Amino acid sequence: RYTALREEPAKTTDGKIIDLRMNAGLMADLPSLTSSGANGVGLFRTELQFLIRNQMPKRSELKNLYSRVLEAAKGKEIVFRTLDIGSDKVLSYMPNINEANPALGWRAIRIALDRPSIMRMQIEALIRASNGRNLSIMFPLISQDSEFYKAKELVDRVLSGEKRLGHNIPNELKVGAMLETPSLAYAPEDFFTAVDFLSVGGNDLKQFFFAADRENELVRRKYDTLSSSFLTYLKFVINRCKELKTPISFCGEDAGRPIEAVCLCAIGFSSLSMRPASIGPVKHLLRRVNLEELSNIINSEIKGVFNHTPEPLAENLTDLSESIKVNKSDFGIAVDPDVDRLVFFDENGEILGEEYTQVFCSDFVLSKNKGDTVSTLSSSNALKDLTISYGQKYYSTPVGEMNVVKKMKEVNSIVGGEGGGGIIYPELH
Ligand code: PEP
Ligand code: MG
């Protein structure tokens, strides 16, 4: 559906070009580099190779795999994340440690620094696989600068060893860190200049920022990426990186959600890494959005201009219809109340993406005709006109408009502050 866009840049209507990359973890993912039009792999989850086996892979096996990955990338950058195990990613062949809070426990870089032999073996495999090509690696879950320095020292030691052994060393070696805990944003300035790049791991970052376990269905969708608190925090991170000239990107799942993605770009991210299938929808939306306008809306949101106390939804819908100006019939939403799912469409009824949400979808019914209820709308439905029914009232609407954050926030506050999703909320008549 998005093939026509594959070779097109992700250029917004105000002329900003966003670097869209894909997440990967297996050799089988690499063909998507071409089919999705991604500029590279922003996150290669090396732990998948460890998770699919029942014993520790050998250095030579890893070297062969990394080497095939780099070949398949044909010069596009691959950012290899060093082993990120522990918490939800348990290796059957490692001793099982009983921790009360595994997400806060012995995992990721913490294991790597305490048991450096595994990371050393992995870095050797990466350097040998690069065989003189460029190499980018990053460390997961760095929460304080000292962890980065220790891990970097290990890389430097391996590099000297490889040189001594006469192996080709990378032409250029970039070493970065994942920002997945709120603390890292407040690291000393030197840290920001010591790293070659930072990548925000939004999945972990959000669980720590909101203290909501990403594995716990009861809480994991309750908190909204586009809440002013989280956006304010991310803006702070971006500003520090700008000041200190640290390249920064975002690679959590939110990067692949079109609405979240455009908002992340509006606050200053210019590089996102996501599932390959999300590149088309995200690019499609980016090419229709004016980031500066969206940024103004977000800034108003952050100031609290649009904050509401919960009021009856119907009244707010009417108020909103007056306050929202529709520029263009661009896209719309459908609501699947059975599973609290929102489906986003473009003006041709093509699905842009979908979102499971804690907004109480049972409060909404979208229908094509006044009063007739549909719980799921398929892509064959050309959504030119929708009717939202709420209680006894019906609101019909042309699909459209991009005043996303404002409307989403309105709905979230109206339904009682539940977040977690995107709602595009069309003009109401
Ligand atoms: C993240 O935490 O956002 C991330 C990209 O890493 P993972 O989901 O593999 O923990
Ligand atoms: Mg993570």
pLDDT digits (tens, 9 = 90+) for 36-88: 999 999 999 999 999 988 899 999 999 999 999 999 999 999 999 999 999 87
Q: Is the CB of 204 under 6 A from ligand 1?
A: yes
| Residues found in the chain | 429
Q: Is the CB of 45 under 6 A from ligand 1?
A: yes
Burial (CB < 10 A; 0-12, 13-18, 19+), residue 326, is middle
Distance, in Å, from the CA atom of 61 to the CA atom of 151, rounded to the nearest integer, reads 23
**Mean pLDDT of all residues belonging to the chain:** 77
**Which ligand is nearest to the Cα of residue 88, counting in written order?**
1
Distance of CA 262 to the CA centre of its chain: 11
Reduced to 3 states, what is the DSSP secondary structure of residue 349?
Answer: coil
Structure tokens that stand for 251 in this block:
């690679």
**What one-character-per-residue DSSP string does 107-165 give?**
-THHHHHHSHHHHHHHHHHHHHHHTTS-EEEEES---SHHHHHHHHHHHHHHHHHHHHT
Q: Which atom of ligand 1 is nearest to the CA of 23?
A: 5
- pLDDT at residue 387 tops 90: no
Strand order through the sheet with 365-367: 365-367, 385-390, 393-398
Distance, in Å, from the CA atom of 30 to the CA atom of 71, rounded to the nearest integer, reads 10
pLDDT digits (tens, 9 = 90+) for 310-343: 333 333 333 333 322 222 233 455 554 444 455 5
Q: Which atom of ligand 1 is nearest to the CA of 47?
A: 9
Distance, in Å, from the CA atom of 370 to the CA atom of 383, rounded to the nearest integer, reads 14
What's at 3, amino acid-wise?
T
Ligand 2 geometric centre to CA of 155 (Å):
21
Distance, in Å, from the CA atom of 20 to the CA atom of 39, rounded to the nearest integer, reads 6
Distance, in Å, from the CA atom of 335 to the CA atom of 31, rounded to the nearest integer, reads 34
Of 29, 111, 204, which is best to mutate to test ligand 1, by the most ligand atoms within 8 angstroms of its C-beta?
204
Angle among Cα 49, 93, 111 to the nearest 5 degrees reads 75
Q: Is the CB of 89 under 6 A from ligand 1?
A: no
Q: Which atom of ligand 1 is nearest to the CA of 88?
A: 10
Distance, in Å, from the CA atom of 418 to the CA atom of 386, rounded to the nearest integer, reads 24
Of 23, 251, 260, 272, which is best to mutate to test ligand 1, by the most ligand atoms within 8 angstroms of its C-beta?
251
For the chain, percent of residues with pLDDT exceeding 90:
54
Name which residue sits closest to atom 8 of ligand 1, judged by CA.
Answer: 203
